[in-house]
Structure 1
Amino acid sequence: MIGILKIAFKLLVNDRAKFAALIVGISFAVFLMVQMTSIFAGILAKSSSTVTNIGARIWVMDPSVKNPLNSIPMPDYVLDAVRSINGVKYAVPLYSGTALVRLGSGIYQPATVLGLDDTSLVGRPELIEGKIEDIYGENAFIAVRDQEFAKLGNPTIGTTFEINDNRGLIVGIARVAASGLFGIPTLYTTYKRAIQYIPSTRFTIAYILVEPKTDNDISYIKDEVAAIGYLGLTDIELKKRVADYYKYQTGLGTNILMMTVISFLVGLSISGQTFYTFVLENMEKFGALKAIGAKSYELIYMILFQAMFTGFTGYGLGVGLCSLLIGVAKHKVPDYTADINYSNLGLAFAMVLIIIAVSSYIAVRKVISVEPFDIFRG
């Protein structure tokens, strides 16, 4: 069997042009599939950046909320009702809104403002400069150093700006696990300062962050929140809700799916046609092998080996090229959004297996039907 596979390998690489065409076709298809799904994964990760960075176990919100950027304010009595639920260790309000910031250069820049509970500061980011206690100072804000940090003019501690005719002062620089999706920088302050500086509706609580006493209390807390007409979700459930919104209620998911399917069809057509042509051109060799005693199953092994070798080689090259491009793009373009994860790698691998299977099936049907008599007679 090893000898048969060696012959199969030599037949495969003997025609370098055909071999290169097979590798390039599959590599290009894998590159496009991984690239498209990686962009989508990066978008979904950034769409839930607020949930990731705050880190609350349970989020209470209006049932109509589908996206963290479009929060619906809740009345104050909801906070009191949630705090009274058995199993709640603590519950604090979170303000989330957008404000127009006037920088020292005179440029206006939209910014996401997150107002943390004044007493506990639950959800505060990790500071890399400054002290968290300074957030209680007059006009104090904390800037997040992420991909959008430069849009605030690369502020330092002591930098001032204007927000809705109010003076703002940077007292700390923080880092977070994920940056926002729409290229808007983020500022943290206290809850009272946020509702004081930013015009808002009658109600101001965007979310209520809940910490349960035990994991067993989570289900009961969610049921009690639903009983008062609001929605309680764990951080994982909220991320899934946001992901489903972008997948099914915007054109983003459909467009990415179409591009992925097109990439798959391109790879399938190129590899299938090229591999079939390769088999036709080597039909005499397969017939000769059959004439000297090669069994049909051995010829099938040859075809499968050739298809798998080209498929897996193309998969590795496609993933490597995509990883290289994403790494360079993230280094050169701070706002670039793409994340390679096990899901999109697995999806691409599954599609490569389908390409291998279809190509092998087409070739096997041709090879096992060849008769040595017809080859030598020709």
Structure 2
Amino acid sequence: MKGILRIAYKLLVNDRGKFAALLVGITFAVFLIVMMTSMFSGILHRSSATVLNIGARLWVMDPAVNTAANSIPMPDYVLDAVRSTRGVRYAVPLYSGGAMVKLVDGTFQSVTVMGLDDSSLYGRPQLIEGKIEDLYAENAFVVVKDSEFGKLKNPQLGTEFEINDHRGVVVGIARVTSSGLFGVPTLYTTYKRAISYIPSTRFTTSYILVEPLNDQVIPYIQQQIRALGYQALTDRQFIEKIGDFYKYQTGVGINVMLMTMISFIVGLSISGQTFYTFILENLDKFGALKAIGAKGRELVGMILFQVGFTCLIGYGLGVGLASVMIALAKLRLPSYAAKITYGNLSFAFVMVLIIAAVSSYIGVRKVLRIEPFDIFRG
């Protein structure tokens, strides 16, 4: 069998034009599939940026909330009820809202303002400049240094701005786990300052962040909050809910799926057609092997080896090319949202296996039907 596979390898690589065409088709398909799915994974990751950056174990919210960016304010009694629930170590309010700030040069920029609990500052970001205690100073705000930081004219400690006719001062610059999705800078301040500076409805609590005593009490806490008419989700459950919203209730999921299927069809058509041409051009060689005693399973093994070898190389080249392109894009475009995950790579590998299976089927049918008599007669 080793000799048969060596012959299959030489048949494959000797025709460099056909071999290159096969590699290009599969590489291009894998490249597009990985790029599309990675872009979608990046969008989903950034859509959950608030959940990832705050880091709370349990999030209490209105059941109608679909994304962290679109909160529905809750009355104050909900916070008191949550704090009195058995199994809750502590619970704090979180304000999340949009505002317009006036920069020092007179331009306006929309921002997202996160109001942290005044007593604990639970969910505060990691500071790279300044001290978190300075957030208690008058008019104090912390600016997140992410891909949208430049839209605030790269502020420094002590930079002033206006927010709804109120003076604001940058007392800290922070880093977070994930940048936001919608291209809006993020400011952190205290809860009381946020609700006093920014116009809002009579209810101001966007979310309630809960720290349970242990994991065993989480189902009970969720049940009690459900009885109040609200919803308590773990951070993973909230991220899944946000992901489901973008997958099934917006056009993002269906558009990415269509582009991925188009990439798969292009790769399948190119590789299938090229491999079929390769089989036709080498049909006399397969017939000669069959005439000198090669069995059908050995010929099938040759074809499977040729297709598998080509698909694996094409898969590696496609993933490598996509990784390089994403890395370069992130260096040049900080707001570019793409993230390669094991799920993306596994999905692309399955698509390659399907391409290999279809291409192998085309070749196997043709080779098994040949008769040595017909080859030598021609």
Partner of 1:144: 144
What is the TM-score of this pair, normalised by structure 2?
Answer: 1.00
Which amino acid counterpart does residue 14 of structure 1 have in structure 2? N
Matches of 2:258 and 2:343 in 1, distance apart?
17
5+ unaligned residues in a row in structure 2: which ranges? none
Partner of 2:126: 126
Where 1:216 maps in the other structure, the secondary structure is helix
Partner of 2:76: 76
Which amino acid counterpart does residue 366 of structure 2 have in structure 1? K
Matches of 1:217 and 1:318 in 2, distance apart?
46
Partner of 2:48: 48
Matches of 2:217 and 2:126 in 1, distance apart?
28
Matches of 2:360 and 2:232 in 1, distance apart?
51
Note the C-alpha offset of 1:109: 0.5
Matches of 2:214 and 2:249 in 1, distance apart?
34
Matches of 2:215 and 2:182 in 1, distance apart?
34
Which amino acid counterpart does residue 111 of structure 1 have in structure 2? V
Where 2:215 maps in the other structure, the secondary structure is coil
Matches of 1:111 and 1:7 in 2, distance apart?
65
Matches within 5 A, 1:297-316: 297-316=297-316
What is the TM-score of this pair, normalised by structure 1?
Answer: 1.00
Which amino acid counterpart does residue 355 of structure 1 have in structure 2? I
Within the alignment, does 1:283 sit opposite 2:283 as a pair?
yes
Which amino acid counterpart does residue 151 of structure 2 have in structure 1? K
Note the C-alpha offset of 1:320: 0.5
Within the alignment, does 1:233 sit opposite 2:250 as a pair?
no
For residues 3-48 of structure 1, the C-alpha deviation after alignment (integer angstroms, 9 at most, x for no partner) is 1111101101111111111000000000000000000000000000
Note the C-alpha offset of 1:107: 1.1
Matches of 2:61 and 2:122 in 1, distance apart?
17
Matches of 1:318 and 1:25 in 2, distance apart?
10
Runs in 1 of length 4+ with deviation above 2 angstroms? none
Which amino acid counterpart does residue 15 of structure 2 have in structure 1? D
Which amino acid counterpart does residue 234 of structure 1 have in structure 2? T
Between the two proteins, what is the percent identity of the paired residues? Answer: 69
Partner of 2:295: 295
Where 2:121 maps in the other structure, the secondary structure is coil
Where 1:70 maps in the other structure, the secondary structure is coil
Note the C-alpha offset of 1:106: 1.0
Partner of 2:362: 362
Note the C-alpha offset of 1:307: 0.2
For residues 189-222 of structure 1, the C-alpha deviation after alignment (integer angstroms, 9 at most, x for no partner) is 0000000100000000000000000110100000
For residues 233-271 of structure 1, the C-alpha deviation after alignment (integer angstroms, 9 at most, x for no partner) is 000000000000000000000000000011111111110
**Residues matched between the structures, number:** 378
5+ unaligned residues in a row in structure 1: which ranges? none
Where 1:97 maps in the other structure, the secondary structure is strand
Partner of 2:374: 374
Within the alignment, does 1:248 sit opposite 2:278 as a pair?
no
Matches of 2:28 and 2:103 in 1, distance apart?
45
Which amino acid counterpart does residue 135 of structure 2 have in structure 1? I
Which amino acid counterpart does residue 289 of structure 1 have in structure 2? L
Partner of 2:194: 194
Within the alignment, does 1:101 sit opposite 2:74 as a pair?
no
Partner of 1:37: 37
Partner of 2:321: 321
Matches of 1:4 and 1:101 in 2, distance apart?
72
Matches of 1:295 and 1:312 in 2, distance apart?
26
For residues 276-329 of structure 1, the C-alpha deviation after alignment (integer angstroms, 9 at most, x for no partner) is 110011000000011111111111010000000110111000000000000000
Matches of 2:163 and 2:312 in 1, distance apart?
55
Matches of 1:309 and 1:214 in 2, distance apart?
51
Matches of 1:112 and 1:223 in 2, distance apart?
31
Matches of 1:128 and 1:307 in 2, distance apart?
52
Where 2:293 maps in the other structure, the secondary structure is coil
